Structure 1
Amino acid sequence: MKKFFLYAFVLCFLSSCIPAKKLTYFQGEPATKSELYRLNNEPYRLQVNDILYIDIKAENPEIVSLFKNSATTSTTQGGEGLYFTGYTIDRHGNIRIPYIGDLNVLGYTEKEVRQKIESELTKYVKKVESVFVTVKLAGINFVITGEVGSPGTINLSQNEVSIVDAIANAGDVNTFGDRENIVVVRKTIDGVKKYKVNLLEIEIFESDNFYIKPNDVIYVAPLKQKTWGFGATGFQTFTTLVTVFSFVTTTILLINTL
């Protein structure tokens, strides 16, 4: 009976601790340096609910003032401010520009939108070459939830956001977070897609999903050790098991004395 409890104790202790291998990022060695730093040069194509910052300048400001949203004159606004002052792509894929009206930009790149606006301005401005149009995505907006320090909606004012950036800005993965199976849910023109990302391997830097897209949802699932209720470290697990076995032993002794 004593051996049974000893074996059970050791088995639970070993199986409930979280090994260091489950907590260490970017394990392994990259194949070559060129592959490690390979970037995906495919430009992002705009989706519904993306927000654009659009600015139109000219030598004579009065020429283009009619086409500008007066609230967008400040370039220091963050993603939250641009929700009210930027150009949000509606469910039909359109943005609405003063005097130009609805302009469909769904599936377009930033450069293509800029060219499209410049083309529309030729209808109203004689010397369109004197007009300077700026089109930028108003930051990368994403949702992160699960086993992270600060779950929620985050907007980063960057042209590109990697999965590492996203995790770091959410307070990193908790001890009980499964770094090996992070789920990224992405809504695209072709429908909803689901990807899995493994932060434990160095190959993540070469993955097509290393960079997230605007409006991605990132979920960090818990490790099985959390559902078991044991500690994250060996000492915590030891303390928990001692408490459990003490309770079991006391219960058995009480039953035998009856």
Structure 2
Amino acid sequence: MNKYFVFVYLIFCVLFSSCLTNRDLVYLQERDGITAEDLGLIEQPKPYRVQVNDMLSIRVKALDQELVSMFNPVGESESGNQSGGLYFNGFTVDMHGNIEFPVLGKMNVLGFTIAEIKEKVEAELLKQYFKETAEIFVTVKLAGLKYTTIGEIGSGVHTLLQDRVNIVEALANAGDISETGDRKDILIIRQYPEGQRIHHIDLTDVKAMKSPYYYIEPNDIILVKPLKRKALGAGQTAMQNLATISSLVSLLVSTYFLTRNL
């Protein structure tokens, strides 16, 4: 009787210790007595500073459009800038942090904000080609926010036509994390002028909203690892675990009787 009790107890331990719970699946949970209200206002991140491989859309406008036509690609339109055409007509930041701007030549933009690049282009145009009376106006935008997902969310490269995107929005756009993905330790591989760094964020904790990595940046790589129970082959629910254990017990019993009859 005692052996039977121990056996049943062990089965229940395996069943419920390996099942997924709300703590594994729910985003931004309130823990340790900290509520969303306690976090206060979630401030917007500091202005993004352009990195290598970023793509920029730069347009020059004036009262007389013919004066600035040489600076804008032929047939370029506002909508065209937000499509695949920008790959050919946009300005990619090279490995040295430069872009090749029509007539003005190479301009270094590495580490500059979008607003600073706008001021820099306007200043160079007024210095070299135009007078104040031309009333030129420059618009500079990132060509969407491109990021990569890999792991328990599916692999892919995504682009959102927004200046700012938080990681929850980015994951939702990529199809969300699977039930076997580890939401407690998301890896973000981020690009810096000196190279790449890996950062971690726990998306099951509401405090993640205060993390410096809550907002993604262009060219981020988001890696979602599998839960350990997936690596061990455990099921996601009690019924799946019961089916696995039943199959294992059946196999052991069959093996026992077969070897006993030999």
Q: TM-score range by the shorter chain?
A: over 0.9
The within-5 A match list for 1:226-245 is 226-245=230-249
Q: Is residue 2:151 matched to residue 1:171?
A: no
Q: Once the two structures are superposed, what CA deviation does each residue of 1:180-227 show, in whole Å capped at 9, x if it has no partner? A: 000001110133111111110111111111101100000000001111
Task: Identify which of 18, 24, 28 aligns with 2:20.
Answer: 18
Aligned to 1:223: 227
Shift of residue 6, structure 1, vs aligned partner = 3.1
Shift of residue 3, structure 1, vs aligned partner = 4.9
Structure-2 change in CA distance of 1:207 and 1:128 (3 Å): farther
Q: Is residue 2:150 matched to residue 1:145?
A: yes
Bigger shift: residues 120-129 or 51-60: 120-129
Structure-2 change in CA distance of 1:232 and 1:32 (3 Å): closer
Structure-2 change in CA distance of 1:3 and 1:128 (3 Å): farther
The within-5 A match list for 1:16-95 is 16-28=18-30, 30-31=34-35, 33=37, 35-78=39-82, 80-95=84-99
Q: Is the 8 A contact 2:190 2:196 kept in 1?
A: yes
Q: Once the two structures are superposed, what CA deviation does each residue of 1:67-94 show, in whole Å capped at 9, x if it has no partner? A: 2222533434435332222111111111
Q: Which amino acid aligns with 1:241?
A: I
Aligned to 2:135: 130
Shift of residue 173, structure 1, vs aligned partner = 0.7
Q: Which amino acid aligns with 2:173?
A: N
Shift of residue 240, structure 1, vs aligned partner = 1.2
The within-5 A match list for 1:138-217 is 138-148=143-153, 150-217=154-221
CA distance in 2 between partners of 1:136 and 1:18 (Å): 43
Shift of residue 33, structure 1, vs aligned partner = 3.9
Q: Once the two structures are superposed, what CA deviation does each residue of 1:36-58 show, in whole Å capped at 9, x if it has no partner? A: 43224411100011000111110
Q: Once the two structures are superposed, what CA deviation does each residue of 1:129-187 show, in whole Å capped at 9, x if it has no partner? A: 61010001111100011101x42000000010101011101111101000000000111
Aligned to 1:9: 11
Secondary structure at the counterpart of residue 80 of structure 1: coil
Flag structure 2 segments of 5+ consecutive residues without an equivalent. none
CA distance in 1 between partners of 2:83 and 2:201 (Å): 26
Shift of residue 32, structure 1, vs aligned partner = 6.3
Shift of residue 248, structure 1, vs aligned partner = 0.9
Structure-2 change in CA distance of 1:226 and 1:114 (3 Å): same
Structure-2 change in CA distance of 1:73 and 1:98 (3 Å): same
Bigger shift: residues 15-24 or 158-167: 15-24
Q: Is the 8 A contact 1:72 1:86 kept in 2?
A: no
Secondary structure at the counterpart of residue 230 of structure 2: helix
The within-5 A match list for 1:77-116 is 77-78=81-82, 80-116=84-120
Percent of residue pairs identical: 38
Structure-2 change in CA distance of 1:236 and 1:128 (3 Å): farther
TM-score by length of 2: 0.91
CA distance in 1 between partners of 2:85 and 2:158 (Å): 14
Q: Is the 8 A contact 1:178 1:221 kept in 2?
A: yes
CA distance in 1 between partners of 2:53 and 2:83 (Å): 13
Bigger shift: residues 7-16 or 164-173: 7-16
